[in-house]
């Protein structure tokens, strides 16, 4: 028996039991669709996160108080090897890092202090992160304005009550984020004039900047965000001269702070993170998440394979006399084996192809729903996911078809012909 003959007979046999074949195929369809959709969601999440981080700039460095060797994202509770005796970061530290002779690989430095505050306008209010920043903050963090201007040195020197809003914060307070420059909002009950609104960027390694509000560093120091020392800052942002010099800039910053804080190597009371650190951390997290989601979806493929095995065993039992007659007329054991393996593989292949279409459709719908809800997230259906799920479904068809096919091929012709 040739493969073409086996294929034609398989089609004829499956066509004779349309309902049963359709329900069997449905198990594989659900499994393949689930695998593709889950992998697409995982890949989309990874691309969204890494894209948001990269959009800030690949030559950005973050300096925090405390020695955190865990590699976690900023903003989390940071561990320290020095207990509560860590020396805080200060404006003097930022000025030392900005010295081109001490740190030639550092192009710009922007210290910041941060705290939570409530913004109100009319009857609307929102609680968000308030950052006291300098004029260098916008270029260092690669921030863009949709309207107005960012905080400058005049605002700092004058301790002015001005604020730059993220677009989400503006939407919450005003119902829109355009045409709000010149309005007055209250931060913790104090009036601040809106001078600018940022371009929407989505979530990043420091959280969503679209929800933040930025005021002059000096104003935050004097009126909103209190620290133990007037010179203390929460974070120092530094920009390396090039993406290639990030490692050198990190070493220069570390050496400067060790000298100023008088800490030996290995016992630092500060942590320097780079964008690459964040990318590796989030890629690891999303990679594990993608594998986890794909594994869960893969279970449904196994269930579909068991369904194929069950149906093929039923088919062998129903066609025992047919198998006996074929063998009596000269069909070899391998011919019977090929016939039933072809049927199981065909069921799996058809289910795989339909599953690919449904998986892509599910991913497309998820992307549209995410866009409609304002999330910058697009599931990515990769060729690797298609090849993996299709190959896996075909392998399942073969694997779960081997036992029924072998059972059919091993039937004795005389016993098979006597079967009722």
Express each pLDDT in 171-197 by its tens digit.
888 888 888 888 899 988 889 999 999
Q: Do 194 and 297 fall into the same domain?
A: no
**Cα gap 340→322, rounded to integer Å:** 13
Tens of pLDDT, residue by residue over 82-137, are 444 567 888 888 889 888 888 888 888 889 998 888 899 888 888 888 999 998 88
For residue 409, what pLDDT band results from cuts at 50, 70 and 90? low
In this prediction the pTM is 0.59
User: Helix, strand, or coil here: 121?
Assistant: strand
Asked if the structure places residue 112 within a domain, the reply is yes
User: Helix, strand, or coil here: 327?
Assistant: helix
Structural domain harbouring 105: 87-268
- What does DSSP assign to residue 235? E
Q: Do 365 and 414 fall into the same domain?
A: yes
**Cα gap 253→239, rounded to integer Å:** 11
- Answer with the one of 213, 244, 268 that is the final residue of a domain: 268
- Answer with the one of 221, 239, 268 that is the final residue of a domain: 268
348: closest CA among 9, 14, 41, 12?
14
Residues near 182 by Cβ (< 8 Å), separated by ≥ 6?
Answer: 193, 194
Q: Do 330 and 214 fall into the same domain?
A: no
Of the listed ranges 4-8, 215-219, 231-235, 349-353, the one predicted with least confidence = 4-8
Q: Do 330 and 255 fall into the same domain?
A: no
Q: Do 253 and 200 fall into the same domain?
A: yes
Q: Do 296 and 186 fall into the same domain?
A: no
- In the chain, the number of structural domains is 2
Asked if the structure places residue 339 within a domain, the reply is yes
- Answer with the one of 216, 237, 268 that is the final residue of a domain: 268
Asked if the structure places residue 310 within a domain, the reply is yes
Asked if the structure places residue 143 within a domain, the reply is yes
The pLDDT of residue 73? 45
Tens of pLDDT, residue by residue over 277-307, are 666 776 777 777 777 777 777 777 777 777 7
Q: Do 15 and 123 fall into the same domain?
A: no
């Amino acid at each position: 028996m040739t493969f073409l003959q086996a294929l034609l007979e398989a089609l004829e046999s499956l066509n004779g039991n349309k309902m049963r074949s359709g329900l069997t195929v449905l198990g594989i369809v659900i499994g393949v669709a689930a695998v593709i959709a889950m992998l697409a969601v995982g890949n989309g999440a990874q691309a969204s996160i890494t894209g948001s981080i990269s959009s800030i700039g690949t030559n950005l460095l973050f300096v925090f108080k405390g020695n955190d060797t865990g590699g976690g994202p900023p903003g989390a509770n940071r561990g320290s090897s020095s207990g509560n005796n860590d020396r805080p970061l200060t404006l003097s530290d930022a000025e030392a890092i900005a010295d081109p002779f001490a740190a030639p690989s550092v192009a710009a430095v922007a210290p910041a202090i941060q705290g939570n505050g409530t913004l109100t306008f009319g009857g609307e209010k929102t609680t968000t992160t308030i950052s006291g920043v300098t004029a260098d903050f916008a270029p260092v963090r690669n921030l863009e304005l949709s309207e107005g201007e960012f905080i400058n040195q005049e605002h700092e020197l004058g301790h002015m009550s001005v604020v730059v809003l993220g677009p989400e914060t503006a939407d919450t307070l005003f119902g829109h984020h355009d045409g709000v420059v010149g309005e007055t909002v209250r931060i913790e009950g104090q009036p601040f004039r809106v001078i600018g609104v940022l371009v929407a960027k989505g979530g990043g390694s420091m959280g969503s900047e679209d929800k933040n509000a930025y005021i002059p560093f000096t104003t935050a120091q004097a009126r909103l965000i209190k620290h133990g020392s007037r010179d203390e800052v929460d974070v120092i942002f530094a920009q390396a001269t090039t993406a290639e010099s990030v490692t050198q800039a990190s070493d220069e910053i570390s050496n400067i702070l060790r000298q100023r804080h008088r800490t030996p190597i290995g016992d630092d009371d500060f942590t320097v993170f780079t964008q690459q650190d964040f990318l590796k951390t989030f890629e690891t997290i999303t990679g594990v998440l993608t594998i986890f989601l794909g594994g869960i979806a893969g279970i449904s493929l196994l269930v579909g394979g068991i369904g194929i095995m069950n149906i093929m065993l039923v088919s062998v039992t129903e066609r025992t006399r047919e198998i006996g007659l074929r063998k009596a007329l000269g069909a070899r054991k391998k011919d019977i084996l090929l016939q039933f393996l072809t049927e199981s593989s065909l069921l799996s292949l058809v289910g795989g192809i339909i599953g690919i279409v449904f998986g892509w459709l599910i991913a497309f719908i998820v992307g549209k729903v995410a866009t409609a809800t304002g999330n910058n997230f697009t599931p990515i259906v990769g060729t690797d996911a298609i090849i993996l799920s299709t190959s896996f479904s075909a392998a399942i068809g073969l694997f779960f078809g081997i036992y029924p096919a072998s059972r059919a091929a091993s039937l004795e012709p005389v016993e098979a012909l006597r079967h009722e």
